[in-house]
Amino acid sequence: MLEGQLRRNTRQKRVILRSVEQLGCHPTAVQIYNTVRKVLPRTSLSTVYRNLGILVDQGKIRAVKGAGSEIHYDHNTGAHNHIECTVCGRVCDVHMDPVDIDTMNPETVSNFIVMEVRMNILGICPECAEQLEKEKLQ
């Protein structure tokens, strides 16, 4: 007897989750789409978005917003923060001591009930820094 929202384990969903895991460096929906299509060429972008949404809801992956307008997806669901390259847009992990929510002064946070603290760090990745250095020498 089927009841409620049955979650089918489709090929598309499996390949999408595997792509997020394998791409590693916080891919965007389009990057995941391109990877998935190497295995399942008829997969549509809507399907990728829908399944990414489901996987986020299920807590299997995390959605990460950076400075740009695209959403990045992260297979590491543990508590950690991100650093984004302002040149190439790449997103990498940062492992810092988490901010202790309970010790935050209510006045400091405009009397909000704090749920989550996200640290978004902007910087230049080693590859882009090297490239910029090369260009400067010319």
Partner DNA sequence: CCCTATAATAGGAATAATTCTTAATACGAA
Partner DNA sequence: TTCGTATTAAGAATTATTCCTATTATAGGG
Q: Which residues bind DNA (CB under 7 A)?
A: 1-2, 5-13, 28-30, 40, 42-47, 49-51, 53, 69-71
**Site for its own copies contains 117 (CB under 8 A):** yes
Q: Is 122 in the site for its own copies (CB under 8 A)?
A: yes
Q: By CB under 8 A, which span of 33-41, 42-50, 53-61, 110-118 interacts with its own copies?
A: 110-118
Shortest CB 99 distance to its own copies, Å: 8
Nearest approach in angstroms of CB 13 to its own copies is: 25
Confirm or reject binding of residue 88 to its own copies (CB under 8 A).
no
Q: What track of x and - describes contact with its own copies for positions 42 through 81 (by CB under 8 A)?
A: -----------------------x-x-x------------
Question: Choosing among its own copies, DNA, none, which partner's interface includes residue 49 (Cβ < 5 to 8 Å by kind)?
Answer: DNA
Q: Decide which of its own copies, DNA, none touches 113; Cβ closer than 5 to 8 Å per partner kind.
A: its own copies
- Angle formed by the axes of helices 29-39 and 11-23, nearest 10°: 120
Cβ 36 vs Cβ 23: under 8 Å: no
Q: Give the list of residues 6+ apart from residue 22 with CB closer than 8 angstroms, or none.
A: 35
Angle (nearest 5°) at CA 113 between 110 and 117: 90
CB 52 within 8 A of CB 13: no
**Nearest-angstrom CA–CA distance, 57 and 108:** 31
Q: What are phi and psi of 130, to 5 degrees?
A: -65, -45
DSSP 26-62: --BHHHHHHHHHHHSTT--HHHHHHHHHHHHHTTSSE
For its own copies, the binding residues (CB under 8 A) are 65, 67, 69, 83, 85-86, 92-96, 99, 104, 108-126, 129
